[in-house]
Amino acid sequence: MRLTALACSALVLLSACAKKEAHDDPHAAPHGDAHGAKTEAVAHWTYEGKEGPEHWAGMGGDNAVCGSGQRQSPIDIAGKTPQKASKIQFAYRSSTATIQNNGHTVIVTPQDGGGVIIDGTVYTLKQFHFHSPSEHAINGQRTALETHFVHQNEHGDLLVVGVMSDIGNADPMLASLWTYLPTDPGQALPLNDILINAQDLMPGTEDFYVYAGSLTTPPCTEGVTWMVFSSPLSVSAEQADAFSRIVGPNSRPLQARHDRDFLHVSGGA
C-alpha cells in the first residue's frame, strides 16, 4: 500500500489513485464543507466543543472516516522526503468571483479561474478558502494562515494546493480581498470591482510537498491529493486577525501520518 500511495502521489495523479467513492458526487455544489462536498447531508459541526473535531466521526453516515481513516489531513510534513521532478504548468486566469462566509471559512469562487496542469492532467480551480491558524505543519511548525485552492480534474479527483502564510509583511492581494470579507455567514456575494487570479496568492516557486490525504472538514473524504508549497508567503498580523475574528480558529488538529510517504516535488521536469 505504501508504494502505491507514493506512486500515485508521484504521478499527481493517475486518475485511479484519487478516485472518489462512487456515492460521493464530485459535482455537488462546492459547499457546506469547504472542500466540495454537499451541504444538505452534512451534520452541524464546529472546531471546538461538543461538535468539534473529536466528535466528527460520530455524526453518522460518511463521517465515520473522520475517525477511522488512515489517510486523513492535515499532517505534519516532516522528515525525509524523496525528491521528484514533475511538469507543473500554472494556467490560472484573472476572473470575476464571489465571496462567501459559510460559518466555517470564507470561500472565494472564481467563475473562470483556470487551473494547474500537472504531468499532463488538467485540474480546474473550483474555489479557494482560508484556515487560521494553518492546518498543515512543516517540521512541526504551523503558520498564521493557510489558503486552500481546491481543484478537480475531469474524473472528479480532487487536488488541493496549500499555501502557508507566516506573520510578516502584509499581502497586497489579501489587502484587496479583505475589504470584502463578509462578517456574517450568508450567501455568496459578487466581488465587484476586482478580478481574482489565484497565482497572485501563491509563492513564485514550483516547490511542493505532495501526499495522499483527505478533506479536512466533515465528511473527511479520502482520495485527495495535497500539494503544499514548501515556502510560505507572509501576511500581517492585522490581516490574520481580521480573518480569525470572523471565523477562526478554524483548523482541524494534525492527523496521524500512518504509513504514508510524501514527496518533495519541484517543477521544471
User: Which of 8, 34, 233, 235 is the binder for Zn ion (CB under 5 A)?
Assistant: 34
Q: Rounded to an integer, what distance in angstroms lies between the CA atom of residue 52 and that of residue 253?
A: 10
Q: Is 23 a catalytic residue?
A: no
Burial class (CB within 10 angstroms; exposed 0-12, middle 13-18, buried 19+) of 68 = exposed
- Amino acid found at 170: A
Q: Kindly indicate which of the ranges 58-66, 79-87, 145-153, 252-260 contains the residues binding Zn ion, using the contact rule CB under 5 A.
A: 145-153
Q: Kindly indicate which of the ranges 9-17, 28-36, 46-54, 71-79 contains the residues binding Zn ion, using the contact rule CB under 5 A.
A: 28-36
* Contact flag: residue 164 with Zn ion (CB under 5 A): no
Q: 148 or 257: whose CB is closer to Zn ion? A: 148
Q: Which three three-digit cell numbers place residue 130?
A: 482560508
Evaluate the CA torsion angle 204, 12, 227, 113 in order and state its sign.
positive
Q: 14 or 28: whose CB is closer to Zn ion? A: 28
* Angle (nearest 5°) at CA 80 between 252 and 14: 70
Please report how close the Cβ of residue 174 comes to Zn ion at its closest, in angstroms: 16
Please report how close the Cβ of residue 252 comes to Zn ion at its closest, in angstroms: 9
Look at residues 196, 202, 182, 200 and name the one whose alpha carbon lies nearest to residue 246. Answer: 182
Catalytic residue among 35, 104, 129, 148: 104
Please report how close the Cβ of residue 216 comes to Zn ion at its closest, in angstroms: 5
Q: Which residues of 122-152 are buried (b: 16+ CB within 10 A; e: fewer)?
A: ebbbbbbbbbbbbbbbbeeebbbbbbbbbbb
Please report how close the Cβ of residue 135 comes to Zn ion at its closest, in angstroms: 7
* Contact flag: residue 148 with Zn ion (CB under 5 A): yes
Q: Kindly indicate which of the ranges 49-57, 143-151, 244-252, 258-266 contains the residues binding Zn ion, using the contact rule CB under 5 A.
A: 143-151
**Which residues of this protein are in contact with Zn ion, per CB under 5 A?**
34, 148
- Annotated catalytic residues are 104
